[in-house]
Amino acid sequence: MRQTRLALRKLPARKRPPLTLWQSVCISAILGLAALALCLGMEWMTRGSFTEVRSWMEGSRSIFFLNAMLTFFLLLLCYGVIGSLLPAMATAALLLSVGSLISYFKTRLIGEPFFPWDILLNQEGMNIAPLVTGSNAYIRIGVIILVVAGLVLLRVKLGRFAPSWWGRLGLVLVAAAGLVSFAFQSTWANRMLNQAGVAQIIWNQQENYGNNGFALAFTLNVKNSIITKPTGYGEQAIDSIAAKLTSSRGGMATAAADTAEPAGKLPHVIFVMSEAFWDPTLLPGVTFSEDPLPTIHRLQERYGASTMLTPQFGGGTSNVEFEVLTGFSTSFLPSGSVPYQQYISQPIPSLASFFESRGYRSLAVHSYEGWFWNRNNVYKWMGFEGFKSLSHFTEPEYKGAFIADSEVSRSIIREVEKSEEPVFIYAVTMQNHGPYNDDRYGQTDIAIDGDMTDEAKQIINTYTQGAKDADASLKMLIDYFEEKEEPAYIVFYGDHLPMLGYDYDVYRQTGFIGSPLTEEWSLEELRSMRSVPLVTWTNVPVKAELPATISSSFLGSFALKALGIEPVGQFALNAELYPSLPGLLRNLTIDSGDTLSGIVPEEASALVEDYRLLQYDMLFGNQYLAGKMDEDFLGRLALPAYNVMDAEQPALR
């Protein structure tokens, strides 16, 4: 046998004899065993221990074998494409291992596994690299390296075991047919899924991956990345929605009648979304030597405490931006999707285009790379006139690895001072981005105490210093407008709670939540983990006060209402919805009586369904609404001079 292999290796590739039947059977058996081994390895990587893998397999044998089948199809695909057995196995092992590793750390960091659409994140994915430390990471990475290196060495020793070109084509077709059938859930694949007892839980992907396994849950999510037309969508449905919205405004359908502008000089409207901003004094049993958020607490005492319900935890900033700026809800999109990356590639009505249509200059400021979350392109499609990203800051102040929040406030002030028109500015900070287990500030201003580990104290200490600086940056803005007596309306909030250690460690140590498993949280705990501080400041009369709770998708509608500007389009529908249902997430709703539920209340279901249809029409459908209401806003194109600098109208620098 050894002499036969040596003889085969000496022959030119074109003269190699085809694989015999016995060799084909042996290779199939090897691939089958490799699929089982890789499936076990993937589950070990994603679940954290073999004990958990064994427990899952004992209750889900059929589902385990479906995962192994998908892994087998991938091995066949790699074998057909590469044409050499062991390199194909090494490639498949590398792909599956890296995907599993990403899913493991992504779940521990922000409670979400690895999705098919995460592949589109490209450079954004590298943001997780500094967080992948510790023995768990090193052991997993070491295993991946050993397995791949071992297979490569075996290839050198044993040869190619190459099928014919026709055989390779057959392998590719069979494998592709199998993978596509499960991804798009063909009749025969659905039959197997039902027989195995597979239940997709798209509203709770952590549980979905836990019950169904990494390979199967990942594959089934491919279909979820495709947006299907909702039942009832059509021009007649949008006609009906438009008629109801027009009627609610007293029949005023023109742009002039849609807007009841504030009297006097138009105020500057400034939204500041502060990175991971939250109130650390809410942690039970933790004491602080001084109030880290004096400005926030003063505004809360003056105007009433309010929180914004966010769809994210620990990351996914752009999804919160998407909700605030567009008035759309990620609750109607596939769980874990990233609209900035997946869905926005043409003009989309937003607060930026709305204010532009009302005589404002709409500007965006973010103290990080413009390519991140595809903002360079998305802000153009949203109708912003200019976007100042990290590369446009000149000799900025840094705190830690990122531009200081105070520098963002100074940038906002400069834009206000040099503009002859009122400005709408959407600013996103970066200073207090995690992780917080570093010593970025050295000596901090506030001492903390409580019954927790030293590591937890250090994490809270670093985070709290950043939160204090964010509070001070808000005070800088307020002080400027008070001194200049320049009319302004400021909205300040966080995008999500900070990721304070793996598996919600600090939150659990302090008793803020009881479990690291999101499916075990009560509705109150879920609310707490999705609520960030929301404050406003203004020196002009307002026509609405902040509700106690409001979802990020409704924030734009509220701001327009407070300013006395009649909302249109999706913002008009939101203005109808949020008074009765101020909180709307995928798995949590809060009604006007502060009643929590995991589903949409019956009394709000009709309006929520209108919301879903309208969002589909404007994002994916035929955009019927643009021809029925305020065309200047809804049908507005991207500005031709987006981010172009000239002497007449200086753009962001």
What's the burial of 340, exposed, middle or buried (CB within 10 Å: 0-12/13-18/19+)?
Answer: buried
CA distances from 321 to 214, 256, 351, 555, 641 (A): 29, 28, 11, 11, 23
Q: Residue 580: is its pLDDT beyond 70?
A: yes
Higher pLDDT, 133 or 109: 109
d(C-alpha 431, C-alpha 474), whole Å: 14
Q: How would residue 3 be classed by pLDDT, with cut points 50, 70 and 90?
A: low
One domain, residues 432 and 479? yes
Is the confidence at residue 217, as pLDDT, over 60?
Answer: yes
In-domain check, residue 644: no
In a domain, 643, yes or no: no
- Residue 123 confidence class, pLDDT cut points 50, 70, 90: low
**pLDDT tier at 269, thresholds 50, 70, 90:** very high
In DSSP terms, 534 is beta-bridged to 493
Does residue 248 share a domain with residue 215? Answer: no
Return the pLDDT at 386: 93
Q: Establish if 571 belongs to a structural domain.
A: yes
pLDDT band at 458 (very low <50, low <70, confident <90, very high): very high
Residue 129 has pLDDT above 80, yes or no: no
Quick: pLDDT tens for 327-343. Answer: 999 999 987 788 988 88
pLDDT digits (tens, 9 = 90+) for 157-186: 555 567 777 878 888 999 999 899 988 888
Q: Does residue 230 lie in a domain region?
A: no
Share of the chain above pLDDT 90, in %: 48
φ and ψ at residue 174, rounded to 5 degrees: -65, -45
State whether 479 and 524 are in the same domain: yes
Planar angle of CA 9, 13, 18, nearest 5 degrees: 90
Last residue of a domain, one of 224, 253, 271: 224
Span 538-549, pLDDT tens digits: 999 999 889 999
Confidence of residue 605 (pLDDT cuts 50, 70, 90): very high
CA dihedral (368, 373, 377, 383) in degrees, to 10, reads -80
What is the model's pLDDT at position 159? 52
| pLDDT surpassing 50 at residue 379 | yes
Position 258 pLDDT exceeds 60: no
- pLDDT band for 138, please (50, 70, 90 cuts): low
Residue where a domain stops, chosen among 224, 250, 268: 224
Q: If you average pLDDT over residues 127-151, what whole number do you get?
A: 60
Q: Which residues contact 289 (CB under 8 A, 6 or more apart)?
A: 446, 447, 448
Count Cβ atoms below 10 Å from residue 273 Cβ, excluding itself.
25
650 in any annotated domain: no
Q: In this structure, are 399 and 255 located in the same domain?
A: yes
pLDDT at 263: 56
What pLDDT is attached to residue 202? Answer: 64
Instruction: Kindly state whether residues 270 and 218 are assigned to the same domain.
Output: no
Average pLDDT over residues 595-599: 95
- The answer to whether the beta carbons of residues 577 and 611 sit under 8 Å apart is yes
Q: How far apart are CA 333 and CA 649, in angstroms?
A: 38
Q: Does residue 166 sit in the same domain as residue 307?
A: no
* H runs (alpha helix) in 159-248: 165-183, 187-196, 205-212, 214-224, 235-248
Are 278 and 149 in a shared domain?
no
Q: Residue 144 pLDDT more than 80?
A: no
640 part of a folded domain: no
Say what the pLDDT of residue 251 is.
Answer: 41
Q: What is the mean pLDDT of the chain?
A: 85
Which CATH number characterizes residue 243's domain?
A: 3.40.720.10
Domains of the chain: total: 2
Helix (H, G, I), strand (E, B) or coil at 183: helix
Q: Is the pLDDT of residue 363 over 90?
A: yes
**203/251 same-domain check:** no
Q: Say yes or no: 260 and 150 in one domain.
A: no
- Asked whether residue 652 is domain-assigned, the answer is no
Buried b / exposed e over 521-546, threshold 16 CB at 10 Å, is beeebbbbbbbbbbbbbbebebeeeb
Residue 248's pLDDT band, with cuts at 50, 70 and 90, is low
Residue 444's CB: how many other CB atoms inside 10 A?
Answer: 18
Q: How close are the terminal C-alpha atoms of the chain, in Å?
A: 72
Q: Which of 35-49, 156-170, 359-373, 575-589 has the lowest mean pLDDT?
A: 156-170
Q: What pLDDT sits at residue 185?
A: 83
Between the ranges 235-244, 528-537, 630-639, where is the mean pLDDT highest? 528-537
In the predicted model, what is the mean pLDDT of residues 243-255?
61
Do both 548 and 597 map to the same domain?
yes
- pLDDT at position 585: 96
Res. 492: pLDDT tops 90:
yes
- pLDDT value of position 1: 46
Q: From CA 246, how far away is CA 260, in angstroms rounded?
A: 15
Cβ-contact 158, 165 below 8 angstroms: no
Report the range of poorest mean pLDDT among 106-115, 211-220, 353-362. 106-115
- The answer to whether residue 647 is domain-embedded is no
Higher pLDDT, residue 158 or 638: 638
Q: Which residue is listed with tokens 């759309």?
A: 328
* Weakest-pLDDT range from 103-107, 132-136, 621-625, 647-651: 647-651
Least confident of 218-222, 256-260, 325-329, 593-597: 256-260
Question: Both 496 and 626 in a single domain?
Answer: yes
Point out the domain boundary residue: 173, 190, 224.
Answer: 224
The model's pLDDT over 288-329, given as tens digits with 9 standing for 90+, comes to: 999 999 999 999 998 888 999 999 998 889 999 999 999 999
Say yes or no to pLDDT of 108 above 90: no
Q: Residue 183 sits in which domain range? A: 2-224
Q: Are residues 261 and 179 in the same domain?
A: no
